[in-house]
Each structure stands twice: as C-alpha cells, then as structure tokens.
Chain A
Amino acid sequence: MQNALKELILQMADDALVLGHRNSEWTGIGPMLEEDLAFSSMAQDKIGHALALYTILHEHMGEPDPDKLGFMRKEEEYRCCQFVELPIGEYDFTLARHFLYDHAELIRYEMLVNCPFEPLAQMARKVRGELKYHVLHADTFLRELARGTEESKARMQAAIRYAWPYALGMFEITDADAQLAAAGAYAGEKERRSRWLSTVSSIINDAGLQVPEPDEAKAIYGGRKGYHSEYLKPLLDEMTEVVRLDPTAEW
C-alpha cells in the first residue's frame, strides 16, 4: 500500500511540475496582459503543489528532498502523463489543455479529501479551493471563445479534438490503482475518468461545441509507466540546465 500511494503521489507531483513548467512559458507572451498574469499565477500554484507533494514523499515516505525529486531524476523515472508534456502551442491548445486537465485535477483532489493517509488528505482539502479558480478561469474562457467569432469557435473545437486522446491518457491505470481502491485510499482512475467525462461533456455541450467520442482505444498512454513523449527529455534538460552546472553547489 505504501508503494502504491507513493506511485499516486508521484504521478500527481510530476503532472503538476511539468504542466506548471509549460504554463510558465506564457510569461510575457500571452494574448493580453491579463492572461499572462493568469497563466503565471496558475504556474505558481502548480509548481507549488508539486513542491508540496514531493515534500510529503520526502518527509513521510523516505524519498530524497524535493529539489532532488523534482529536478534530478532520469526521464523514465517521471510519472506524468504525456498530455502535460506537450509544448504550449498556441493559446487555443493551451486553453483546451488547461480546461481538460484542471477538471481532472480537481476531481482527483476531491477524491482524496478523505484519504486515510492524512498528509495527502490535508493537502487535498487545501488545494481543492485553489483549483476551483483554475477551473473557473478555464470554463469562462472556453465558453467565451466558443461563442466568440467563427475563428475562435473553430479553433477551440479543433483544439479539443486534438487534445482529447492525450486527455484520455491522464487516466492510465497502473498496478497501484487496484491496491489503493482496495485500501479505500483512492477510488481509482476509472472512477475519476467517468466523473471527468460527465463534467467536461456538459460544459463543452453548453458552450456549443461537440464532445469527441470517449474512445478508450485512442487514449495515449505510457507516461504513468515511464514511457514519455519526445517532448519531456528536452523539457527536463532545460529545467536542469543551471543546477547541472554543479549539482553539489548551493543555488
């Protein structure tokens, strides 16, 4: 059970770190200053969540300190889904990912508020409140752009279609899944996926866009088992460019 829990926390932390990294790339180039600020805020929250999760692994589960965990693992040791690894692309893809990912993230924390592992439950109760704002931001912009111009509507529809198989990949099942469910720690990815599908489908429909088929065969899996897209390695190389100059130095 300890190992299954570790696995789950690592998945959550790596998702947050890598998507936080991507969101931070919008600093200075957003479609308007207000969106620069929004993505920068969300990046801070996500990187902060990653730090809190690595800290739990370090303090309660015997793992190395957060800086080592976050920055110094090999690519195949990361457990993020491939969805978060994709480059930011244009704002349409970034927004589609933000919408699809953050709903799934919020549901995951909601499913953990009564987790018997108290440090995680405690964090879930706190983070849930922050993520409500992320989701509010995503829903508002999705709705506005879906109802905006012909171009914005077409772009958002295309972006959701493109992102969809990757989004389904968020719910990849690992060996940890059944163990956590049996122990009553976390109800599992199948449950999360079904809740997510009903939430995002109703918002997408409401906005006047079409929900792609939730075809499991098309889901892009691999990340949870250490098989990543071509984009993760360069991201990690960039992230560790400075610290690798001298990993023993204090920065």
Chain B
Amino acid sequence: MYGSTNLTEQDAKRMSDTSAEDPQKLAEFEDRIARGEKIEPDDWMPAEYRRQLIRMIEQHAHSEIVGALPEGTWITRAPNFRRKLALIAKVQDEIGHGQLLYSAAETLGKTREQMLDDLLNGRSKYSNIFNYPAKTWADIAVIGFLVDGAAIVNQVINSKGSYGPYCRALERICYEESFHLKQGHDNFVYLATGTKQQREMLQDAINRWYRPLLHFFGPPDHLSAHSEKLMKWKVKLASNDDMRNQFLDQYVPKILELGLTLPDPNLRKNADGRWEFSDPDWEEFKRVINGDGPCNKERLAVRRYAELAGRWVREALMKPNDTYKVPLA
C-alpha cells in the first residue's frame, strides 16, 4: 500500500494509550471525526494522530518518488511516440504526487528535507512493491495497469479519511491516477492481443508481479497489529484483507478475459464472494520490507545520488535570510 496503516505491536500499544491527552479536547476531536468533519493543520489533535499521519503520508510520498524510478528507466526505451509521451507524462505525475504529499505531511510539522533524510537513512519506508525490478517493457504495462489499479483501491479509500490536507491531495491524485490506469490498460491490451512474443512477455511479467501485488495491501488481518483507534480516527478506513479482496474482484476477471493466466492454482472466489489464494510467502514480504529485496539497495542508491549530486544546487538557491514556511494545504 502506498500510505501504509500497518502498525508494529509497539505502535499499536502507543496508540491505545491516550492518557496524556486532555480528555475534553480528545472527546471533542473524536466527536468531530464521528460527524464526518475534516481535521485541519491548526486544529487540536492528539499527538499519536499527528505521528501516525506523518508516518503514513510521508511513506506515501516516498512511494511516489521511488515508484517513479522503475518506470522512469523505460521512458527512453518506449517503442513509439504515443507510448513515450504517455509514459513520461505519467511518471511526471507521480513525482508531482510526491511533491503534493510532502506538502501535506509538512502541514503536520516535519519538513521535506527531514523526510528525505529519513528515506535515505531507512527510518521511513516506501511501498514494498517498488523493490522489484521492471525487467521488460511488459512490466510497464503491468505496473501501469495492475500496480496503479491496486494503488487506486488504496487511495480512494484513504481519501475518505479525516485529515483535510491528505484527503484533498488524494482526491486530486486519484483523478490523475484514473488516467494512468487507462494508459496502463491500453498498453496491457496491446500486448495481450499482439504477437506471440508480446503475449509471452506480458504473461511472464504477470507471473513475476502476482505475489508482490498480493503483498501490496499488507499482511493478512489475522497477522496485523490492530488498532481500533486508527479506525475511529479515520486514519485507517478498510482492512488489508478487504482492500486486497476488492482489488482481486476488480482485476482478476480483466486479466483472465484477455486469455492470460495467474500463477496460482488455488486462486478462486469462494461461495461468500471472498477470494482465496495460496500463501504468497509473508516471510518474503518481511524480508523485502526490511531491506533485503531485489532492488532495495539500487532504489536508495539512486535517491542518494540525487540528494548528493543536487546538494550544491539547493545550497545555492537557499537565501540566508529565508525562514522556513509550512506550505498551504
């Protein structure tokens, strides 16, 4: 998921303890959220609400700019003008989403520089899926259609949350993502209905992305640390399993109807309308999140290069008398 609401056990414990907060203010805050009001940057909010939102929005922002890397390397290789122009615009949008989300997180009191530092020193994460390589042009079709499709499921749900600046950023992002999905789908269909070689490329890419896509929404509910508070505060709005099910419901039929297959003999919809699938290896998910995936090092190395190589530019643009201003949200 882009903005993860998964908690560690320790986080979940901290969340449940609001004894340090003013009980009256807390009650008013929770009433406002229950009435469907949005919380704005200058409003009172519990410390844990602020902390969790920063973590989530920051992670989402990182996912956008790191996510631009695997696709970005295919801009120069896109096979014709139409695909090239679409891909470049799409990847540019992702960077723009990053910019928008860093601004939303900044309204909560953490600067973009601090967030980028934390990305590089490993203190904050980004979506696990971008630690997998985009090996062929067909991967671009799968990312544009299925990874973006999964991201939309997550983002549409999060846009109904309680923090105003994040919701507004997400609404705009979802609007743009729906165009990305169209270009991804178009590319996907061209390959699926193309030559034997094109179909084989696409099938191979689907086979490789199937598990990372199941991982995308986070561990199954029975393995996740749970917090009633996050739900009550409308920071988390749907469970991982529900989001994953929604994604499979929307996309599995679209893949199968093109005559493609999914590499899981146990994938099926049961009588209750829930999708069942083989264990996608949650140990691998943990390993990759903790830095041991196929591309973790490469992704961070590229970001580190950008930070270091660009430092002289940022320093030169800094005015000695400028003071830091929190962006408007």
Contacts and interface: CB of A to CB of B under 8 A. Distances in A.
A194 B69 CA distance: 41
Contact of A47 (B72, B84, B195, B302): B84
Q: Which of A28, A32, A245 lies at the interface centre, i.e. has the most chain B CB atoms within 10 A of its CB?
A: A28
A246 B309 contact: no
Contacts of A35: 310, 313
B95 A37 contact: yes
A40 B71 CA distance: 13
B33 to A, nearest CB: 31
B315 to A, nearest CB: 6
Interface in B127-161: 137
B310 A91 contact: yes
Contact of B312 (A66, A144, A152): A152
Interface in B283-307: 302, 305-306
Interface string B260-290: 0000000000000000000000000000000
Nearest to B89: A44
Interface in A57-116: 66-67, 70-71, 90-91
B23 interface: no
Nearest to A17: B81
A21 interface: yes
Interface residues of A, number: 46
A33 B317 contact: no
A58 to B, nearest CB: 12
Given A30-B306, A31-B306, A151 B314 contact: no
Contacts of A32: 310, 313-314
Contacts of A245: 137, 197
Interface stretch (A180-188, A224-232, A235-243): A235-243
Taking residues whose C-beta sits less than 8 angstroms from the other chain, chain B's interface range is 35 or more
Given A27-B68, A41-B92, A250-B194, A70 B81 contact: yes
Q: Quick one: which of A30, A51, A71, A148 has the most chain B CB within 10 A?
A: A148
A101 to B, nearest CB: 18
B46 interface: no
A36 B88 CA distance: 11
Contacts of B69: 28
Given A29-B306, A245-B197, A40 B88 contact: yes
A50 to B, nearest CB: 8
B80 A152 contact: no
Interface string B65-77: 1001100100111
Given A33-B98, A251-B83, A251-B190, A28 B312 contact: no
A24 B89 CA distance: 10
B312 A149 contact: yes
Given A40-B91, A66-B81, A246-B198, A27 B313 contact: no
B20 interface: no
A24 to B, nearest CB: 5
Query: What secondary structure prevails in chain B residues at the interface with A?
Result: helix
A71 B302 contact: no
A214 interface: no
B204 to A, nearest CB: 13
Given A40-B91, A43-B88, A148-B317, A242 B198 contact: no
Contacts of B197: 245-246, 249
A251 B79 contact: yes
B81 A67 contact: yes
B256 interface: no
Given A37-B96, A245-B197, A30 B81 contact: no
A146 to B, nearest CB: 9
Contacts of B223: none
Contacts of B76: 21, 24-25, 235, 238-239
B232 to A, nearest CB: 34
Given A28-B95, A90-B309, A155-B312, A71 B85 contact: no
Shortest Cβ-Cβ A-B pairs, 10 listed: A31-B310, A148-B316, A152-B316, A251-B79, A31-B313, A40-B92, A243-B79, A242-B79, A29-B306, A27-B72
9 contacts: A27-B72, A28-B95, A31-B313, A44-B85, A44-B89, A70-B81, A144-B317, A242-B78, A251-B83
Interface of A: 21, 24-25, 27-37, 40-41, 43-44, 47-48, 50-51, 66-67, 70-71, 90-91, 144-145, 148-149, 151-152, 155, 235, 238-239, 241-243, 245-246, 249-251
Interface of B: 65, 68-69, 72, 75-81, 83-85, 88-89, 91-92, 95-96, 98-99, 102, 137, 190, 194-195, 197-198, 302, 305-306, 309-317
Given A25-B75, A70-B81, 15 more contacts: A24-B75, A28-B69, A28-B91, A30-B306, A35-B310, A67-B81, A71-B79, A91-B313, A145-B317, A151-B312, A235-B76, A239-B76, A243-B79, A245-B137, A249-B198
